[in-house]
Amino acid sequence: METYWLTGLTFLPLLGALLVLTQSDESSTWRAAAAFSLIPLAISIYLLIRFDPHEPGYQFVEQYAWIPQFGISYHLGLDGISLFLVVLTTLLMSLSIIYSGGGDIGYRPREFCFFMLVLETGLLGALLAVDLFMFYVFWEVMLIPMYFLIGIWGHGNKIYAAFKFILFTMLGSILMLVAILYLVHLAHLQSGAISFDLPNLYSVRLTPGEAEWLFAGFAIAFAVKVPMWPIHTWLPDAHTEAPTAGSVILAGVMLKMGTYGFVRFAIPLFPEIAMQATPLFMALAVIGIIYGALVAMVQPDLKRLVAYSSVSHLGFVMLGIFALNPQGVEGAIYQMLNHGLSTGALFLLVGMIYLRRHTREISEFGGLWHRIPIFAAIFMFVMLSSIGLPGLNGFIGEFLIMLGAYLKIPLAVVFAVLGIILGALYMLYAYERVMFGPITKAVNETLADLTWREIGVMVPLIALMLFMGFYPRPLLARMEPSVAAMLDRVQTAQVRLEKPRPAAVAALDPARRTAER
């Protein structure tokens, strides 16, 4: 049956972006933008309900020829891996736009809404694209609006941050483009048909050398986005200088694009190399976890602290992914959602306090608990979710990840636990300095507590944190079939790897040679 749900989901924000530009006054701009971010949210929830939890493949598929000469098709699909990320995207986008309408964005609101909605199209398109070319297009499309968001509405050294952000990610992604082209070229040589469609590319036979280079091309692009240590340096700048809504989307969704890319593309396309690279990636992930936590601990700036905590949390996600077993990967996807919720919420809270005090220096605060209890309570709750308190969502994800990692490399878990402890440490320490004790600064005496709008923005996030902490089953059940299908590819690769190498190479080479002729 023909459906247009995914097309609608992807392009309604773009339509909204264009309509927003026609709005004349400020309040109608915000209303229109909010409406156009709520429609995709409604669609994504509808899809969530309609989603068939037993189907491992793509659902709601749409496929049309786009550039038939290159075998490029307009191919959208939703599966258990992308489903919840799509919902997360639409949710965070709505909340950020609604929040931003409450005074966080002081100037040029029309352009702000325009870029936010274009960004939403880019994010959703990248999550839904099954065709590699389409994926690349959306992958790049989402850079540009984010760049403007940081550069125009950011704080402090915003232009430098925006530049750094775009150059880092562009360098990564353009190498991925070369890898995509080369992969398609090989597929074309071997099968005679040209196609950028992901399922068609699974069967490409690669020599080990080729596979290594191609995997590197993909992995670097995704690792920059994650970001993995040591190419994370754009992240603290971008996060700190971005406007609140930008930080929320950047941390909540955009970083997931990197990890999602690993799960969706890099690993299934090159399972052998992914297997071999596991120790390397797990090591980098662990370094990221510890490094992020240690650096976060010494940050004087609340937002920078949250930014570095992202480096640490994304390390967990990478750890789970490269465990390459169901527990690890499902945990990783779960943790992506958790991180989106809790870090998104943390950035929103930091934004709220910044709006009141125009500073984020931890030393500027102290004793806020007395003045703004609702804020402090919500902050506490979100923070506990972020550090993985049992009963809240963070715990489930971290637990599954460590279970998966333990099955793979037990040593990694030791360091990861250290990371969790450090995480609790820096968060609680920061919380203590901000919220407890006497009020030391006079300005803090007159702080206003959260407005209804702000509370309204936080409520859905908190509800989800609770729900996901207590009842993860429905979410995991929907991920399971797709994750299993993905890991199936890895398993067969493992079998292939364990066979004696010369035979495998001999089987590859003559076939390649005849194909090239």
Q: What residues line the site for other proteins (CB under 8 A)?
A: 66-70, 108, 111, 136-137, 140-141, 143-144, 147-148, 151-152, 158-159, 162-163, 166-167, 170-171, 174-175, 177-178, 181-182, 184-185, 188-189, 194, 515-517
Distance in Å, CB of 109 to other proteins, minimum? 13
The smaller minimum CB distance to other proteins, of residues 188 and 489, is found at: 188
How far from 329 is each of 27, 47, 201, 366, 492, CA to CA, in Å?
43, 23, 22, 40, 17
Of 47 and 219, nearer to other proteins (C-beta) is: 219
Tell me the C-alpha distance between 439 and 444, whole Å.
7
Distances (CA, A) of 384 to 152, 247, 253, 314, 349: 33, 20, 20, 17, 14
Separation CA 171–CA 169 (nearest Å): 5
- Give me the least distance between CB of 148 and other proteins, in Å please: 6
**Residue closer to other proteins (CB basis): 141 or 447:** 141
Nearer to other proteins, 74 or 399 (CB): 74
Distance from C-alpha of 90 to C-alpha of 110, rounded to nearest angstrom: 20
For residue 129, give the 3-state DSSP assignment: strand
Per DSSP, the residues of 421-484 read HHHHHHHHHHHHHHHSS---SGGGGG-----HHHHHHHHHHHHHHHHHHH--HHHHHHHHHHHH
For residue 510, the minimal CB distance to other proteins (Å) is 16
Q: Which is nearer to other proteins, 361 or 509 (CB)?
A: 509
Q: Quote the tokens at residue 27.
A: 């309040």
Q: How far is the CB of 75 from other proteins (least distance, A)?
A: 15
CB of residue 138 vs other proteins: minimum separation in angstroms?
8
| Of residues 79 and 241, the one with the C-beta less far from other proteins | 241
Residue 51 or 70 having the CB closest to other proteins: 70
How far apart are CB 13 and other proteins at their closest, in Å? 16
Element (H, E) at 499: none
Q: Measured from the CB of residue 43, what is the shortest distance to other proteins in angstroms?
A: 23
- Phi first, then psi, for residue 22 (nearest 5°) are -85, -10
**Which two tokens mark 252?**
């909540």
The residue (of 231 and 455) whose beta carbon lies closer to other proteins is 231
Q: Which helix (H) or strand (E) holds 421?
A: helix 410-435
Give the C-alpha distances (Å, rounded to integers) separating 76 from 50, 82, 124, 133, 306: 16, 11, 10, 12, 34
The nearest distance, CB 506 to other proteins, in angstroms, is 22
Q: What is the DSSP letter of 228?
A: P
User: Closest approach of Cβ 194 to other proteins, in Å?
Assistant: 6
Q: Quote the CA–CA distance of 191 and 181 in Å, as a whole number.
A: 15
CB 162, min distance to other proteins, A: 7
Please state, in angstroms and rounded to a whole number, the distance separating the CA atoms of residues 447 and 442.
10
Toward other proteins, which CB reaches closer, 25 or 516? 516
What is d(CA 462, CA 450) in angstroms, rounded to the nearest whole number?
15
Tokens of 438: 């006497």
Separation between Cα atoms, residue 41 and residue 448, nearest integer Å:
31
Q: Which is nearer to other proteins, 206 or 285 (CB)?
A: 206
